[in-house]
Copies of this chain bind each other. A is one copy, B any other.
């Protein structure tokens, strides 16, 4: 297939789709530090994790030795409904930038959840069903993960209880209605259905909620209801494992046409998309086969990898979840209001944190207005209106392509386009109206938050 003309979109055949997920940690000589139990501060056990998560998912969470884990047929069948995702050659963007660089993006937005989140949601729903559970609980902010999980649960006939941050529930009714259309039970958080919700409502009457509170409610609901477990859409090792389908498909598509990437770029919030995208490339890099430049892009308002510290921290504000060693701004860090809800997490998945620490990956932070400028350019020439999160990767891909224009280098740039922005039009409106603001935290603000990290 070498030297074949590259089409605008490379679609794999069904027979070329991955049959096993890639477990990146299993390839690492120095593994990410283990998760710690919040009760004992010792490495968390399968038994402890299984109280909150499905047994098989708890197993995957702790497995850092099995290199490939077979994708069950039921999940592969579901993947066939919306995958393979196209690897797109950005001919029009290249032309608009007048760059000699060759730009490709892996587009994960061609499904109703609008993002890559579905890749893990269907896996988590499957294992819940296999375990004979009645349903799962989760939290959602803007609703992307909640939508994906609702679709997955609907497919397997599982009950799905979503605690949605109250301000989003009221102000962003569209994703709520998508979830309801898929049969999910969507509750504004804080609610009066959990003890923690009642307590918060009593303490802060009229509160519009927070993600931290919604997590606490979802965990309480999962552990107090018979036949339920809690599921989460990012940060976890299991999520990175499931998201490796993104990278595996991308690698297969590139190999099919004899293309070698020079730079691989992805946005990073909790790390689910980036960890999945880079997985097979990072393996080659660690094995010394190819020296890919790998760039994580995060918002300047929440600069976890670029300005955080690498230390053990709580994964949630309520401090009920395990502790992880990761780049963090402190679990009490409250990012300024931003339109990229998916990137407003204080920490970063342990695997990517360790890879960054080992110098195998670099990170950049970018400001919101510049991100929307890149998003608009991209939308106009490539025809896809990107999610604000995804547009962080676009911004850096454009920067790198413009560097090539200066140097004349014909680098091959691959980035992850995680999703569409159809439910983010309020943000685009602010940009269109010229009233979008940027915020960069001061060193003092970050220090104030990271000074409070647990002493471990």
Tell me the A residues contacting B by CB distance below 8 Å.
7-9, 11, 13-14, 78, 80-82, 92, 110-112, 114, 151, 154-155, 173-174, 177-178, 180-183, 376, 379-385, 420, 422-423, 425-426, 428-429, 431-432
A441 to B32, CA, bound (A): 67
Inside 8 A of A384's CB, which chain B residues have their CB?
111-112
Inside 8 A of A425's CB, which chain B residues have their CB?
173-174, 177-178
In the complex, which residue of chain B has the Cβ closest to the Cβ of A383?
B81
In the complex, which residue of chain B has the Cβ closest to the Cβ of A427?
B177
Inside 8 A of A431's CB, which chain B residues have their CB?
181
In the complex, which residue of chain B has the Cβ closest to the Cβ of A147?
B385
B422 lies within 8 A of A381 (CB)? no
A112 lies within 8 A of B385 (CB)? yes
Main secondary structure of the interface of A (DSSP, over half): helix
Q: Which 7 A-B pairs have the closest CB atoms?
A: A8-B80, A174-B425, A177-B425, A154-B380, A112-B385, A177-B429, A7-B14
A384 to B147, CA, bound (A): 12
B112 lies within 8 A of A420 (CB)? yes
Candidate in A7, A92, A382, A383 with the most chain B CB atoms within 10 angstroms: A383
A7 to B92, CA, bound (A): 30
Q: How many copies does the complex hold?
A: 2
Contact of A8 among B81, B180, B382 (CB under 8 A): B81
In the complex, which residue of chain B has the Cβ closest to the Cβ of A379?
B181
Inside 8 A of A81's CB, which chain B residues have their CB?
8, 92, 382-383
In the complex, which residue of chain B has the Cβ closest to the Cβ of A5?
B14
A383 lies within 8 A of B151 (CB)? yes
Contact of A428 among B82, B111, B177, B422 (CB under 8 A): B177
Can you list 21 pairs linking A and B with CB atoms under 8 Å apart? A7-B14, A8-B81, A11-B11, A92-B155, A110-B110, A111-B383, A112-B379, A112-B385, A114-B422, A151-B383, A155-B380, A155-B381, A173-B429, A177-B426, A178-B385, A178-B422, A178-B425, A181-B376, A181-B432, A182-B379, A182-B380
Candidate in A14, A183, A380, A428 with the most chain B CB atoms within 10 angstroms: A380
A112 to B181, CA, bound (A): 22
Inside 8 A of A111's CB, which chain B residues have their CB?
383-384
A9 lies within 8 A of B80 (CB)? yes
In the complex, which residue of chain B has the Cβ closest to the Cβ of A175?
B425
| Shortest CB distance A320–B (Å) | 32
A208 to B154, CA, bound (A): 39
Inside 8 A of A78's CB, which chain B residues have their CB?
383
A379 to B381, CA, bound (A): 30
Contact of A181 among B154, B174, B423, B428 (CB under 8 A): B428
A92 to B111, CA, bound (A): 15
In the complex, which residue of chain B has the Cβ closest to the Cβ of A79?
B8
In the complex, which residue of chain B has the Cβ closest to the Cβ of A433?
B180
B7 lies within 8 A of A13 (CB)? yes
A381 to B81, CA, bound (A): 10
A389 to B14, CA, bound (A): 30
Inside 8 A of A383's CB, which chain B residues have their CB?
78, 81-82, 111-112, 151, 155
In the complex, which residue of chain B has the Cβ closest to the Cβ of A154?
B380
A376 to B14, CA, bound (A): 27
A80 to B91, CA, bound (A): 10
Candidate in A81, A431, A432 with the most chain B CB atoms within 10 angstroms: A81
| Shortest CB distance A101–B (Å) | 19
A13 to B11, CA, bound (A): 9
| Shortest CB distance A258–B (Å) | 17
Contact of A432 among B9, B80, B177, B381 (CB under 8 A): B177
A429 to B178, CA, bound (A): 9
